[in-house]
Amino acid sequence: MSAIAATGGDELTAGADVTTALGMDDFPREQPLAYPDWFKEPFLNLPDDHAEAVAAGKDLVVYFGQRRCAYCHKLMDVNFGAPDIVNYTREHFDIVPVDIWGVAEVTDLQGNALTERDFALREETNFTPSLVFYDEEGQEALRLRGYYPPYQFRAALEYVADDHYQRESFRDYLARGDNRMVFGPADLNDQDFFEPPPHNLDRSGLPSDRPLAVFFEQGDCHACDVLHGQALEQGELQRRFGELDSVQLDIWSDTPVVTPAGERTTARDWARDLGIFYTPSVVFFDEHGREILRVDSVVGFYRLRNVLNYISSKAYLDEPNYQRWRVSEAF
């Protein structure tokens, strides 16, 4: 990794980034968000935007956001408040903003016309801000769902700009720059609602009575500490998770696991197969072992409560698209 991405060994830089980024409440903001003046004007003709980016030697990024989203504000204030991130982003990318509630017409890269809201629904940008990076061929190079602290965000920019996506997964790219590879299970935060091993999560033959929440974490993880020390300290969330089958896995451990699909594996290999690169991530499965939804970015009380409302009410049985369910709840 080059200079913009702090290495995992740079604990002071990475720790400061995470502390600053996670110091927030995530309730909707009163003041609407203003885009940076270096974002492209949202004419929303993505073939033209892509052609302009390629001609300038850049990649195209489509930003999906909401005007009052706390995580979108954090992206603008913290990540795009860092001069090195701004300079690097402007050098290598053109960013086109899309309002996930908007009714303006978008022409996608395939030439289809649809509203901003329908575009966001189709792309399943469940958590804002979501950023989709497209390479010079118009193929998706990386998708970030939700807010990531500057350390991971810097790495994501380099991962695409330097074409690492052509050779390895983003998870592997992050791991190469991270010295914190293996920590014992004693380093993980505990919760009363976590079910102890052995972890036989098989639902392929006999369905469970309850949905399943799998927490993927690791030791020496400040974001994990914040989740457990803040959002999960709330009695409402503890009660909701207690109503589910909830387990915790270390993404670097060789702990045996039988997955909801009935496959025998380890926590490490299952996290890799799921593409988990951020900790903590929470992946929800239904009674039959099908993935419902994953929260694999920074999350606070407000967003997590909404997710648990969706899971606990079993709204996924009638509306499998979480974002579409949120739209129906809003209107």
Cα of 100 vs its chain's centroid, Å: 16
Other C-beta atoms closer than 10 Å to the C-beta of 128 total: 26
Class of the 11-176 domain?
alpha beta
Scored b (16 or more CB within 10 A) or e, 40-58 reads bebebbbeebbeebbeeeb
- For residue 330, pLDDT over 70 is answered with no
- For residue 246, pLDDT over 70 is answered with yes
- For residue 69, pLDDT over 90 is answered with yes
Class of the 185-330 domain?
alpha beta
Q: Give the per-residue pLDDT at 11.
A: 35
Residue 22: which pLDDT band, with cuts at 50, 70 and 90? low
Range in 34-38, 302-306, 313-317, 325-329 the model is least confident about: 325-329
CA dihedral 301, 306, 311, 315 (to 10 degrees): 170
- For residue 140, pLDDT over 50 is answered with yes
**Mean pLDDT across 251-257:** 95
Topology alike, domains 11-176 and 185-330 = yes
Q: Give the per-residue pLDDT at 178.
A: 59
Of residues 64, 59, 137, the one with CA closest to residue 93? 59
**Tokens 């720059």 appear where?**
177
- For residue 77, pLDDT over 90 is answered with yes
Q: Give the per-residue pLDDT at 16.
A: 43
Structure tokens at 232: 């999960």
Higher pLDDT, residue 203 or 20 = 203
- Segments making up each domain of the chain, as ranges: 11-176, 185-330
**Mean pLDDT across 179-188:** 54
Beta bridge partners of 95: 61
